[in-house]
Amino acid sequence: MAKGLAPSELLAARFRNDDERWSAILSRDPSADGQFLYCVTTTGIYCRPGCAARRPRRENVRFHISCEDAENAGFRPCRRCRPNEPPLAERRARSVAAASRMVETAEGVPTLDKLAQAAGMSRFHFHRVFKDVTGLTPRAYVAAYRAERARTALQASRTVTEAMYDAGFDSSARFYAAAPGMLGMAPRTFRDGGVGETIRFAVGECSLGSILVAATATGVCTILLGDDPACLVRELEDRFPRAELVGGDGEFESVVAGIVGLVEAPALGHDLPLDIRGTAFQRRVWEALRAISAGTTASYGVIADRIGSPNAARAVARACAANPLAIAIPCHRVVRNDGTLGGYRWGVERKRALLALEASS
C-alpha cells in the first residue's frame, strides 16, 4: 500500500488504468463510485461503476472522470443509476433529513403516508429507508422527538396543559397515556423535578471502583461509576432534585449484583428493563451503541454514519458523554477514528479496563 496518501488518493490509485476500472464494473465495486464513469458507445449512455444495468461488452466501453467530460463526449446520463445526481445513500439521507424536519416543524404528527409522499417513496420503501438511515422507525423517531419536546415544554411552560399543546398533543388523554413512556413519570411530577417520584438506589463495589445503580418503576435509569460512593449519591440527587430517593432492599440488591456481574463478564449481556431519558438524537446514538458487540469497538465517525448523520461525530461524542447508564449503554466501546481511546465520562482508565475485560471474556 502507498504510504502518506489520503484514503481518497489511495482509491484513485486503485482505478488508475482501464483494466482496474473494468474489473470494478464487473464486480460493481461500491468503492469505485465517484472515482470514474463508464460510457457505452452503442447506447450513448454513461453510468456509475456500480450501475445495476446489464453489463456492456468491453469493446463498447469508454472511461471518463466526470459527468462534464462524458457529456462533452456526447453521452447522456443513465436513468437508472443517475450518475449526474448525488449518490443514492446521500439522496436517501437528504430525504430522511427532510422528513425529520417535517416531523419537527409540524403542529401535529405527520402520518407515515404524508412523510412517504413528501420523500417521493412508497410507505414500505420509506419505512425501510428511514430505519436504515436513522436506526429508528418513523414511529419511534416521532415518539422520541415528541418526548424531547414534552420535556422541554414542561420545563418552560407555566402549566402542564400549555406544555401538552407545545409538545404537539391535541388530547390530554393521549398526552397522559404517553407520559410514562416518554418521561418515566407523570407530566406534573417531571415538571416539578421528579417530586413524588420514588427512585430506588444502591451503591456497590466492582473491579472498577464504586458503582451506583438507580431505578424508577419503569426500569434502571442511572448507572454511575466512581471512586467515592458519597459523590455518586450526590450526582444522583442533582439529577433528580425533588424525587424521593430510597435505599434499595434485598430484591434491588440483586439487580445491582447483576450489573456488577455485567462489569466482570460483559459477554453475558443483559436483559434489564431500562428507563432511558434523552433527546431524540441522544437516543439514536445510544441505540447504535447498544448494537456494538462486546469485544469490539466503533469510532465516533462510524456511529455517526450508522445513525445517518455522517458529519455529526462531535455530537456523537457529546451524546456518549451524556450517557447516564454506564455499561448498559456501552459508550466505552466508542473510540477515536485513529483507534485511540478518546474520553470517557467515568475516566479513561476505566474505559481501558472495560475493553480489556471484554477482549479477554
pLDDT in tens, the chain (361 residues): 444 434 444 444 567 889 999 999 999 887 788 889 999 999 999 999 989 889 999 999 999 989 999 999 999 999 888 898 877 777 777 788 888 788 777 766 788 888 888 888 888 888 888 887 776 788 878 777 777 777 666 666 566 677 666 666 666 676 666 666 666 666 666 665 555 578 899 988 888 899 999 998 888 889 999 999 999 999 988 888 878 888 877 778 888 888 888 888 766 666 778 888 777 788 888 988 988 888 899 999 899 888 877 778 888 888 899 899 999 999 999 998 888 888 899 999 999 999 988 888 6
pTM: 0.54
Which residues have C-beta within 8 Å of that of residue 267, sequence separation ≥ 6?
294, 295, 358, 361
Pull the grid cell for residue 162. Answer: 400549555
Residue 320 known to be catalytic: no
Q: Which residues contact 300 (CB under 8 A, 6 or more apart)?
A: 313, 314, 316, 317, 320, 334, 335, 336, 337, 342
Residues 342 and 26: their CA atoms lie apart, in Å, by 41
Burial class (CB in 10 A: 0-12, 13-18, 19+), 109: middle
331 is catalytic: yes
The C-alpha atoms of residue 110 and residue 124 are separated, in whole angstroms, by: 16
Please identify which of the residues 51, 78, 81, 331 carries the catalytic annotation.
Answer: 331
Catalytic residue among 39, 47, 78, 320: 47
User: Could you tell me if 49 and 83 are in contact, meaning their C-beta atoms sit under 8 angstroms apart?
Assistant: no
List the domains of the chain with CATH numbers: 14-77 (3.40.10.10), 88-135 (1.10.10), 143-192 (no CATH), 198-262 (3.30.160.70), 280-360 (1.10.10.10)
